[in-house]
Chain A
Amino acid sequence: ETGVTQTPRHLVMGMTNKKSLKCEQHLGHNAMYWYKQSAKKPLELMFVYSLEERVENNSVPSRFSPECPNSSHLFLHLHTLQPEDSALYLCASSQVMTVGDTQYFGPGTRLTVL
């Protein structure tokens, strides 16, 4: 595997379900990100982990809970979601604290909340 991978690629869940999204990066980076992409909106940064510590939480509802067990893996735990949470959830990674650090994205998980 190379680059940034995400599983599952598609997820349909009810509002009472609990599920998790997984992201893995094979680039040796030290920062990982979760973004939400809704139709006709710019990408919204949700969470940032740098050196496995959360450094950014952009006022995301508590029904989204991130976890970063090591520098290569990032999870997004979901519970009691709302239909408006349906979107493409993108993971990215980068090497921070370097000149010109650049974020590389995974293919995303298309989430549908019924």
Chain B
Amino acid sequence: GQQLNQSPQSMFIQEGEDVSMNCTSSSIFNTWLWYKQDPGEGPVLLIALYKAGELTSNGRLTAQFGITRKDSFLNISASIPSDVGIYFCAGLLTGTASKLTFGTGTRLQVTL
């Protein structure tokens, strides 16, 4: 089956630093999604990417849909304490019933 490799698994950074994480897949997707999950809560959608090569920003977040359709990255600029959480990438093949494949997550810790 499809697998998503997400890296790094965890990051410890200082407030104000930039962060970069990425996902790679063994097969192509036609949508890439990035979610953030706080403890005890459901994932919240951050950015959705629908076209190969697309670069999309949402405030301090920027994500790109790789040109090969097998990878995506998420950057966070000037991190703040509320950025702490687990970030998941997810690939989607749209069809009759959309089936998301999730990465294993990147746990982000921000220190003051």
Contact = CB atoms under 8 A, between A and B. Distances in A.
Interface string B81-111: 0000000101010111111101111000000
B97 A31 contact: yes
A104 interface: yes
A90 interface: yes
B43 A99 contact: no
Interface stretch (A12-20, A41-49, A65-73): A41-49
Contacts of A90: 42-43
Interface residues of A, number: 30
* Size bin of chain B's contact surface: 20 to 34
B21 interface: no
Contacts of B4: 42
B5 to A, nearest CB: 11
Contacts of B43: 43, 90, 105
Contacts of A88: 40
Given A42-B102, A99-B50, A100-B31, A105 B42 contact: yes
Contacts of A6: 42
B76 interface: no
A43 B102 CA distance: 6
Interface in B56-81: none
A42 B33 contact: no
Contacts of A103: 33, 45, 90, 92, 98, 100
Contacts of B33: 102-103
Interface of A: 4, 6, 31, 40-43, 45, 48, 50, 55-56, 88, 90, 92, 94, 96-108, 110
Given A98-B94, A100-B50, A103-B90, 12 more contacts: A31-B98, A42-B102, A43-B43, A48-B99, A88-B40, A90-B43, A99-B94, A103-B98, A104-B45, A108-B40, A108-B41, A110-B40
